Amino acid sequence: MELFPHAKVNLSLYITGRRPDGYHTVDTVYWPLPLFDYLKVEPSDRNRFATTEKELEGKDNLVIRAWELLHEQYRIPPVAVRLEKGIPWQAGLGGGSGDAAAMLQACSRLFSLGLTRKKLCEIGKALGADVPALLWDAPARGRGTGTDLEGFDAALFLPLLVVKPPQGFSTAAMYRAWDEGGGRELPAEAIEKRQQGLIRALSGEAPEAVIPFLHNDFETVLAGEDRALFEQARSLLAESGALKSLLCGSGSAVFGLYASEEARQTARESLREALPEAWGLHVPFRTEQREVK
């Protein structure tokens, strides 16, 4: 079975608190991003895992952990897995979570488990907060730890480009900085107003209508080299004509929003020339008419 796990961006991300167990709560709008990995899963006499990224070969890879979860609950047999990365990792784009989501779906189909999306999302929570959103595969607002999802209709095409510095950012370090007073939590009423404004804008036809509502709390606690890389990415995107840029999740990728597909294609060519060596430029495929499922 062959699947093409996709990425995501957070068009908004507000940190809303911290639970007694240490997990942070958020209010975020997930947007499926048509960048893809390739995942091939086949029954096998023993587990085999191959990937194009040597750093991802360890047992902590979310694809392996997804199989282990299903094996514990349903005693599924071994599989041979081939993972080819197209989505940059340590980027905040949910690449690993998307791979885990696809692995859960593949095993459910291969072994006729008949798992519903709701059940897969429940299982996926144990693998990471973004896994249910990648299983959802449609625009959604996430609350709680990001796993309490509410879908919404959205017909807008967002002309986005993504740039990725060579280094990743530490999510744990940014949450620590937030807890130590580096961030400021907005009132619930203000967040609700902004989130509703974003969702309304996404149901329209003008990409620029979403600009006032794009927000990521992680940007407020970036420091040192991470801050410098983020500012460099933002400057490069602005110089290429982006109307707005935003950190992707916890980074280190940054996306730029453009006024039109024509503007995006022009920016694509200029960024190919302007990006420093070892930086990545990622161009999502064009997709439209996203609807809640």
Active site residues: 8, 130
User: 32 with 72: CB under 8 angstroms?
Assistant: no
DSSP 88: P
Side chain identity at 71, as an amino acid letter?
Answer: H
Q: Which residue's entry shows tokens 């048509």?
A: 34
Query: If we measure between CA atoms, which residue out of 283, 204, 189 comes closest to residue 240?
Result: 283
How far does Cα 216 stand from its chain's mean position? 13
270/236 Cα distance (integer angstroms):
10
Instruction: Produce one character per residue of 161-183: b if its CB has 16 or more CB atoms within 10 Å, e if not.
Output: bbbbbeebbeeeebbebbeeeeb
**β-strands 215-216, 79-84 pairing:** unpaired
CB neighbours of residue 102 within 10 Å: 26
Omega before residue 252 within 30° of 0, cis: yes
28/218 Cα distance (integer angstroms):
12
